[in-house]
């Protein structure tokens, strides 16, 4: 045990050193948020040029962790079409530094017969490429109850080489898929992908070479701030639990981007002693004010917690969430009007049942600095090398008992038009692509 801790610490120091080399001073943060867009654009050009002319050590974090992964070889799908603008949102006050708002999906009927990849373990193959159709595809009646009970009965411990399950909770398509495909390339057998989207979305056009091919699960309509969002999250968790190699479960949106290469993300998550669920007690209208008295005695007001929707769980906790027949029904019944279950169910459940499990922070960065019901959305011009460097190392936090500057592995919300910038910066800055 102590040897393991020591090793982890050594690795961690190495990770810190590697990343510290790339970190930019905190003043960049102020600069980025204070200067007008026009100056930001100019800065972007300068930063871009400086990146192009400088040598970087982008692959270092993964290398420092003693990992070796073969270089990417697969062909990439063409970029996705630009996503439709989001519908208008109800007004909601959200405290800064919490991201849990995801806009509503367009209205659509509920489909019950979606072709999907059943969450059967994709055979561990060393060739690094998935042949088309390797994921088992079957047509299945969408039955949440049956799915949940099968998942709840799945083994609590990981079978085989641990995989990270990337759970995409999307409103429609995945505009950043080409970036994610580069991120995943060459790491087959160490990850799995599940996509929940609007039931009206036709996923059959997905490129067969893409990691997203055949990975859409039977989905139901999701409404912003509604319990249906938590139901979709549970549906994703349940599908992922059926693959007994999935060890860590990460919730992402279509506007998420990775900030590090796969080996860094993988080891950070798989070796973490805590799960990355944000959780805090907030007094006032947007915190405890959302608690409903009808939830007592299962949930008392003082047990009510709030946190970012974008969670990361280990296998035991993912199974505990899916198997929860006590708190979730209480939320479904009482967390209705002005309640926003997606910001409260998981933090509250963990606080009551598994208090020490959470790191109480999210690995997804979002910008709530401007206030209001939704975090900032970033367009192409705002994606600069300095901004990305700051996202990767401009904050300090704790990881396995040590202080680190690698706090955020992902960031949102990035608009589809920023994809080309990420594709351009990824190889030198993030070590993939
Ligand atoms: C989905 O799109 C494919 C073509 O990409 C088409 O052949 C198929 O009929 C569509 N399915 C539905 C249900 O619209
Ligand atoms: C996790 O840490 C252990 C040592 O504590 C190490 O042997 C292993 O390679 C690490 N795993 C990853 C994926 O980094």
Dist. CA 201 → ligand 1 center (Å): 10
Dist. CA 203 → ligand 1 center (Å): 8
Dist. CA 164 → ligand 2 center (Å): 14
pLDDT at 376: 92
Rounded CA gap, 356 and 366, in Å?
24
| Probe target for ligand 2 pocket from 161, 267, 273, 409, with the most ligand atoms within 8 Å of CB | 267
Question: Does 26 score more than 60 pLDDT?
Answer: no
pLDDT at 399: 98
Res. 372 pLDDT band, cuts 50 70 90: confident
Rounded CA gap, 249 and 261, in Å?
17
The vertex-310 CA angle with 381 and 22, nearest 5°, equals: 50
Q: How many percent of the chain have pLDDT more than 70?
A: 67
Question: Does 41 score more than 60 pLDDT?
Answer: no
What's the average model confidence in pLDDT over 370-387?
Answer: 92
Q: What is the DSSP letter of 371?
A: -
pLDDT at 65: 37
Res. 87 pLDDT band, cuts 50 70 90: very low
Rounded CA gap, 379 and 421, in Å?
10
> Which residues, 6 or more positions from 160, have their beta carbon under 8 angstroms from its beta carbon?
121, 124, 244, 245
Q: Is 115 in the pocket of ligand 1 (CB under 6 A)?
A: no
For the chain, the structural domain boundaries read 92-379+411-430
Ligand nearest to the Cα of 269, by number = 2
Residue 425, number of CB atoms within 10 A of its CB? 22
Q: Which protein residue's CA is at the shortest distance from atom 3 of ligand 1?
A: 204
Rounded CA gap, 101 and 368, in Å?
11
CB 249 within 8 A of CB 161: no
Rounded CA gap, 316 and 98, in Å?
25
Res. 370 pLDDT band, cuts 50 70 90: confident
Rounded CA gap, 230 and 348, in Å?
13
CB 396 within 8 A of CB 404: yes
Question: Does 392 score more than 60 pLDDT?
Answer: yes
Question: Does 108 score more than 70 pLDDT?
Answer: no
pLDDT at 38: 43
pLDDT at 371: 84
Res. 373 pLDDT band, cuts 50 70 90: confident
pLDDT at 256: 98
Q: Is 205 in the pocket of ligand 1 (CB under 6 A)?
A: yes
Give 60 or 250, the one with higher predicted confidence: 250
Give 247 or 23, the one with higher predicted confidence: 247
Dist. CA 177 → ligand 1 center (Å): 20
Residue 41, number of CB atoms within 10 A of its CB? 14
Dist. CA 410 → ligand 2 center (Å): 21
Q: Is 65 in the pocket of ligand 2 (CB under 6 A)?
A: yes
pLDDT digits (tens, 9 = 90+) for 117-138: 333 333 333 333 333 333 432 4
pLDDT digits (tens, 9 = 90+) for 218-254: 999 999 899 999 999 999 999 999 999 999 999 999 9
Q: Is 14 in the pocket of ligand 2 (CB under 6 A)?
A: no
What's the average model confidence in pLDDT over 64-86?
Answer: 32
Res. 178 pLDDT band, cuts 50 70 90: very high
CB 60 within 8 A of CB 18: yes
Peptide bond into 315 cis (omega under 30): no
Question: Does 53 score more than 50 pLDDT?
Answer: no
Dist. CA 205 → ligand 1 center (Å): 8
Rounded CA gap, 175 and 415, in Å?
8
Q: What is the DSSP letter of 189?
A: T
Dist. CA 396 → ligand 2 center (Å): 22
Q: Is 271 in the pocket of ligand 2 (CB under 6 A)?
A: yes
Q: Is 113 in the pocket of ligand 1 (CB under 6 A)?
A: no
Question: Does 347 score more than 70 pLDDT?
Answer: yes
What atom in ligand 2 is closest to the CA of residue 4? Answer: 5
Residue 377, number of CB atoms within 10 A of its CB? 15
Q: Is 270 in the pocket of ligand 2 (CB under 6 A)?
A: yes
Q: Which protein residue's CA is at the shortest distance from atom 5 of ligand 1?
A: 205
Give 142 or 59, the one with higher predicted confidence: 142
Q: Is 84 in the pocket of ligand 1 (CB under 6 A)?
A: no
Q: Is 266 in the pocket of ligand 2 (CB under 6 A)?
A: yes
Q: Which protein residue's CA is at the shortest distance from atom 12 of ligand 1?
A: 202
pLDDT at 21: 39
Phi, psi of 28, rounded to the nearest 5 degrees: -55, -35
| Probe target for ligand 1 pocket from 112, 116, 199, 204, with the most ligand atoms within 8 Å of CB | 204
pLDDT at 367: 94
Q: Is 265 in the pocket of ligand 2 (CB under 6 A)?
A: no
pLDDT at 143: 72
Ligand nearest to the Cα of 203, by number = 1
Place of tokens 């060459």: 186
Q: How many percent of the chain have pLDDT more than 90?
A: 64
Question: Does 289 score more than 80 pLDDT?
Answer: yes
Q: Which protein residue's CA is at the shortest distance from atom 14 of ligand 1?
A: 202
Q: What is the DSSP letter of 22?
A: T
Q: Which protein residue's CA is at the shortest distance from atom 6 of ligand 1?
A: 204
């Amino acid at each position: 045990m102590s040897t393991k801790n020591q090793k982890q610490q050594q690795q961690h120091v190495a990770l810190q050193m590697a990343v510290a080399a790339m970190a930019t001073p905190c003043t960049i943060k102020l600069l980025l948020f204070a200067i007008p867009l026009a100056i930001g654009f100019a800065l972007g050009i300068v930063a871009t040029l400086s990146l192009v002319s400088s040598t970087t050590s982008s692959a270092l974090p993964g290398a420092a962790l003693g990992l070796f992964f073969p270089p990417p070889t697969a062909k990439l799908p063409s970029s996705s079409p630009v996503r439709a603008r989001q519908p208008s949102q109800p007004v909601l006050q959200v405290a800064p530094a919490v991201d849990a708002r995801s806009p509503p999906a367009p209205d659509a009927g509920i489909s019950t017969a979606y072709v999907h990849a059943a969450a059967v373990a994709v055979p561990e193959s060393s060739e690094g490429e998935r042949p088309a159709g390797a994921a088992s595809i079957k047509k299945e009646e969408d039955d949440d109850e049956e799915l949940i009970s099968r998942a709840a009965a799945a083994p609590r411990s990981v079978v085989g080489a641990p995989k990270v399950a990337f759970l995409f909770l999307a409103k429609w398509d995945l505009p950043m898929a080409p970036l994610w495909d580069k991120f995943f390339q060459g790491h087959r057998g160490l990850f799995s992908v599940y996509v929940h989207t609007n039931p009206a979305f036709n996923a059959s056009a997905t490129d067969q070479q893409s990691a997203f091919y055949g990975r859409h699960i039977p989905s139901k309509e999701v409404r912003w701030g509604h319990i249906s969002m938590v139901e979709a999250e549970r549906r994703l968790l349940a599908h992922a639990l059926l693959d007994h190699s999935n060890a860590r479960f990460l919730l992402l949106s279509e506007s998420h981007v990775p900030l590090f290469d796969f080996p860094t993300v993988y080891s950070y998550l798989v070796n973490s002693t805590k799960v990355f669920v944000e959780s805090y007690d907030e007094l006032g209208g947007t915190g405890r004010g959302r608690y409903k008295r009808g939830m007592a005695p299962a949930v008392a007001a003082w047990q009510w917690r709030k946190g970012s929707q974008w969670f990361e769980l280990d296998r035991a906790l993912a199974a505990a969430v899916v198997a929860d027949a006590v708190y979730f029904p209480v939320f479904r019944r009482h967390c209705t009007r002005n309640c926003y279950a997606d910001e409260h169910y998981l933090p509250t459940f963990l606080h009551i049942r598994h208090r020490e499990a959470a790191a109480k922070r999210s690995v997804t960065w979002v910008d709530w600095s401007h206030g209001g019901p939704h975090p900032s959305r970033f367009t192409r011009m705002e994606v600069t090398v300095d901004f990305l460097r700051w996202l990767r190392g401009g904050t300090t936090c704790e990881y396995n008992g040590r202080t680190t500057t690698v706090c955020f592995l992902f960031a949102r919300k990035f608009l589809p038009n920023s994809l080309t910038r990420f594709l351009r910066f990824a190889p030198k800055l993030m070590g993939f692509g």
